[in-house]
């Protein structure tokens, strides 16, 4: 079954409006100065790196957040880890009604190897691995995931960036709560192969993990007809980062091309500061 729907079809609430306002809030002049200082430093010492609980990221990768640069896997996956931690923290504190598992960009690439290869990724979602991917320093959160997370179907959403032949980025989402396969592509492409792949993946995942609930039927294919679109060839990665950001908080993406420069600077500042703002 296929449904092409409006991306802005959800009702807003004071809570979601507040979250969106924070996402759209520009960084300050002082914060932008920190970003410019980092870019200058990175141009001089590209192989130094920032180290944090999310891993290490090279200065040369941070330079990709300058205007008119294509984002790579390292930046997008690092940002995904930051989003995952914030989602866990908000969900456990009941500041967010959506629990999300964020996979890295290699998930879909490996899944589609030689057309389709479930064996490549079946171990990625074993119980131990799911808990490992969602482990934090908070014992309360860790205990929650130990008790309540057995398979990906215990999350509301599984979100993942899609690297298309190192030329374009898109965002995939298994909306488990609504039984919906979602594709967010800032070029407006409706990729039939994506939907076929994810239908097949769900069936294999249910069989492999021996899921006892009947959830494999009636999954709707969702491609929003009001999706934000890019008007250049370099900002798809930034759009994808923000698709993931909005989806984690159960928001419909409603930004546009005019926000990309600000988003680049904000993501850079957040990586420098090692926290989302």
Residue 58: exposure state from Cβ atoms within 10 A (0-12, 13-18, ≥19): middle
The single-letter DSSP state of residue 7 is: T
Per-residue pLDDT tens digits for 120-146: 999 999 864 555 555 544 444 444 445
What spatial distance separates the first Cα and last Cα of the chain, rounded to whole Å?
39
CATH classification of 2-273, choosing from 3.40.395.10, 3.40.50.300, 3.40.1110.10, 3.40.50.970?
Answer: 3.40.395.10
Kindly state the helix (H) or strand (E) to which residue 171 belongs, with its residue range. Answer: strand 168-175
Per-residue pLDDT tens digits for 238-271: 999 999 999 999 999 999 999 999 999 999 999 9
pLDDT over threshold 70, residue 189? yes
Question: Is residue 237 within 8 Å of 171, Cβ to Cβ?
Answer: no
Distance CA 151, CA 122 (A): 11
Per-residue pLDDT band for 202 (boundaries 50, 70, 90) equals: very high
- Tell me the domain boundaries of the chain: 2-273
């Amino acid at each position: 079954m296929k449904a092409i729907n409006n991306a802005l079809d959800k009702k807003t609430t004071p809570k979601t409006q507040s979250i969106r306002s924070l996402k759209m809030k520009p960084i300050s002049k002082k914060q932008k100065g920190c970003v410019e200082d980092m870019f200058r430093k990175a141009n001089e010492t590209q192989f130094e790196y920032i180290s944090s609980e999310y891993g290490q990221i090279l200065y040369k990768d941070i330079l990709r957040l300058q205007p008119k640069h294509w984002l790579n896997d390292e930046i997008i996956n690092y940002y995904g880890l930051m989003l995952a931690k914030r989602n866990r923290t908000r969900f456990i504190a009941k500041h967010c009604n959506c629990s999300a598992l964020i996979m890295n960009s290699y998930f879909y690439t490996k899944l589609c190897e030689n057309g389709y290869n479930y064996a490549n990724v079946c171990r990625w979602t074993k119980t131990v691995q799911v808990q490992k991917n969602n482990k934090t320093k908070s014992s309360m959160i860790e205990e929650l995931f130990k008790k309540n997370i057995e398979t990906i179907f215990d999350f509301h959403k599984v979100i993942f960036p899609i690297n298309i032949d190192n030329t374009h980025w898109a965002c995939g989402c298994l909306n488990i709560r609504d039984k919906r396969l979602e594709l967010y592509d800032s070029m407006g492409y409706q990729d039939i192969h994506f939907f076929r792949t994810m239908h097949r993946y769900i069936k294999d995942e249910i069989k492999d993990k021996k899921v006892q609930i009947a959830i494999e039927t009636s999954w709707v294919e969702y491609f929003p007809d009001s999706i934000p679109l890019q008007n250049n060839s370099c900002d798809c990665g930034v759009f994808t980062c923000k698709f993931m950001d909005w989806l984690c908080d159960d928001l419909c993406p409603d930004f546009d091309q005019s926000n990309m420069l600000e988003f680049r600077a904000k993501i850079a500042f957040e990586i420098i500061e090692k926290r989302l703002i």
